[in-house]
Amino acid sequence: MSVPQPFDPYCKRAAGEIDEIVFGAADQGVSPDAYAAMDGTFNEQTGEFACTGCYIELGMPSSAAGWKAGQLVPQPARI
């Protein structure tokens, strides 16, 4: 089984190029790629994930099944 290399398609950076990932990985004693793969937004199919900044930019999407990077961003419900 091979997992695609984590990549943030929103700011177009690999895990190792994102400070928060690099610092978090060092803190946990894992590689930046492994750390990004633990992120809740990590999409195992495509390797995409969203860093915190991008996730906020996207409006902090969530879904019942758990939102993954690369998926459509659900629109906020209109009241």
Binding footprint of Zn ion on the chain (CB under 5 A)? 8, 10-11, 51, 54
Maximum separation of any 2 CA atoms in the chain, in Å: 45
Comparing CB distances to Zn ion, the nearer of 55 and 78 is 55
Q: Please state, in angstroms and rounded to a whole number, the distance separating the CA atoms of residues 47 and 28.
A: 20
- Please, what is the minimum distance in Å from the beta carbon of residue 63 to Zn ion? 19
Spatial contact of 15 and 50, defined as CB atoms under 8 Å apart: no
Comparing CB distances to Zn ion, the nearer of 9 and 34 is 9
- Please, what is the minimum distance in Å from the beta carbon of residue 53 to Zn ion? 5
